Amino acid sequence: MIDINEKSTTISVSELTQRAKSLLEGHFARVDVEGEISDFTAASSGHWYFTLKDSESQVRCAMFRSANAKLRFKPSRGDRVQIRARVSLYTNRGEFQLIAQHIQPAGDGALQQAFEKLKTKLFEEGLFGVDRKQPVPNSARRIGVITSASGAALHDILAVLERRSPMTEIFLFPVPVQGTDAPGALVRAVDQANALHQQHTLPLDVLIIGRGGGSAEDLWAFNDETLARAIANSDLPTVSAVGHEVDFSISDFVADQRAATPSAAAELVSLDQSEWSQRLDDAQRILQGLMVRRLKQERAVLGHWRARLRHPGTTLKQQRQLLDSRIQQLALSMQNRLKFQRSTLTNLAKQVESRHPGRSIEHHASLLAQRKRELQQLVQGSMRRFRTTLAQHEQLLRSLGPENTLARGYALVTGPDGQIIRNAKDAPAKSELRIRLAEGELAAEVIDVDTPKDGVSD
């Protein structure tokens, strides 16, 4: 305090400004001031300098890098804000100023204003564009999860995948999901998951990032600009699952797909085991269709070869050998296919059994065994019919052969040169003949020849 009766003493400008600075800083420990920002400058050093004004006055302000690095948004000219600051005086110019320690949008809905501002900025940059989105797999086998190791979100995701797809592998990237350290930890987890995937150290199909419900402040880490850009630049498909269905975050807009809840995210990227069972049923029907078509093809081939049988003997043997070869090929083909399918189904059954498959898988395994027996019976029946038909044709051919004709009382007459005699004129008188009967042969000599006259024989 200055006594006006005290004898005047001349002081320097520096001393005056230092006294004024001490007086201001000693009187005002901390103030909360509201106003509009003008002349905002972000220096290369990281410090911010701006003017805070209202309708009647203005004051110069500074906010050093150590303080503004903790803010969730960056103010700009024209913003109406509330600042928490200490009062000081810049002695080099003798200017009264405020040293800001915290800034937030003024009025109700400060977080919402910051949210809308960042949302508009990223939208204008095109980070929400559909053309940037990657397709998200609906039956992922390896899933990366970025969330708290002790949160409800992880429990919900694990419960859904255990029920729907127990064979799915889950890799957790544990992070804090709220507080000042959360945004940086989330960004590092996204970068780490992508680096491991690109290096083939940990190949993943999809990345889920999120947390359970909470207040707007609790969820604010997922509205961080650096995190938004990390998600947008991810090589891995990303699913954002933050809070409940009514909650929206910046991460939801930049991710490849938004899920209303962590449980919904797990359902989105997994295939229910009942659908796997349906796929097995479809594969079985396809296999049966292929077998039926193959049997028809082989039956057509056999019919073709049967049609070409014209004479007994060597041709018949060749056809029988070819038939046996076809039957063996068919049997071998079916055995190999059944062996392959049996091996495939056995492997799948083991995988499903190792993940607690349930009664549905046992039922389908029993049904498959029944179908296999029915198929084997069908193949065996078809082969018996083929052999029966072949034996009938062989019997028919033998019944039409020359041996059966001789057995019915006919004889085969040949001349001295062994040629068959079909006309009486081909055997002149005194020529020697051989007569073959059903049993034995006769030697004969032609005594007289009686040839047909006028086309009619006696």
Nearest to 145 by CA among 236, 232, 209, 204: 209
Task: Kindly state the average pLDDT of the residues 105-129.
Answer: 80
> In the predicted model, is pLDDT for residue 458 greater than 60?
no
The pLDDT of residue 342 is 81
Please indicate whether residue 405 or residue 146 has the higher confidence score (pLDDT).
146
428 contacts 416 by C-beta, under 8 angstroms: no
The pLDDT of residue 359 is 66
> In the predicted model, is pLDDT for residue 109 greater than 70?
no
Per-range mean pLDDT, top range of 44-53, 100-109, 420-429: 44-53
Question: So where are the chain's domains?
Answer: 13-107, 130-268, 273-400, 406-445
Whole-angstrom distance, CA of residue 405 vs CA of residue 422? 16
> In the predicted model, is pLDDT for residue 256 greater than 90?
yes
Whole-angstrom distance, CA of residue 284 vs CA of residue 281? 5
The pLDDT of residue 454 is 55
The pLDDT of residue 312 is 67
Q: What is the pLDDT of residues 231-255, one digit of tens each?
A: 999 999 999 999 888 788 999 999 9
Give the pLDDT band (50/70/90) at residue 197. Answer: very high
Whole-angstrom distance, CA of residue 136 vs CA of residue 240? 11
The pLDDT of residue 192 is 95
Share above pLDDT 70 across residues of the chain, in percent, rounded to a whole number: 91
Least confident stretch, 285-289, 302-306, 322-326, 402-406:
402-406
Whole-angstrom distance, CA of residue 432 vs CA of residue 435? 10
Please indicate whether residue 9 or residue 421 has the higher confidence score (pLDDT).
421
What is 130-268's CATH superfamily?
Succinyl-CoA synthetase domains (3.40.50.261)
Least confident stretch, 3-12, 169-178, 265-274, 295-304:
3-12
Query: Which residue reads 């005594």 in tokens?
Result: 447
Nearest to 409 by CA among 439, 367, 450: 439
> In the predicted model, is pLDDT for residue 310 greater than 60?
yes
- DSSP bridge pairs for 238: 207
Whole-angstrom distance, CA of residue 289 vs CA of residue 42? 73
Least confident stretch, 32-36, 41-45, 59-63, 111-115:
111-115
Average pLDDT over the chain reads 84
Here the tokens at position 81 are 């804000």
The pLDDT of residue 355 is 66
The pLDDT of residue 206 is 94
Give the pLDDT band (50/70/90) at residue 456. Answer: very low
Share above pLDDT 90 across residues of the chain, in percent, rounded to a whole number: 25
Nearest to 269 by CA among 280, 258, 279: 258
Task: Kindly state the average pLDDT of the residues 85-98.
Answer: 82
CATH 2.40.50.140 matches 13-107: yes
Q: What is the pLDDT of residues 353-388, one digit of tens each?
A: 666 656 677 778 888 888 888 888 988 888 888 888
> In the predicted model, is pLDDT for residue 403 greater than 80?
no
Per-range mean pLDDT, top range of 18-27, 131-140, 409-418: 131-140
The pLDDT of residue 347 is 82
> In the predicted model, is pLDDT for residue 215 greater than 80?
no
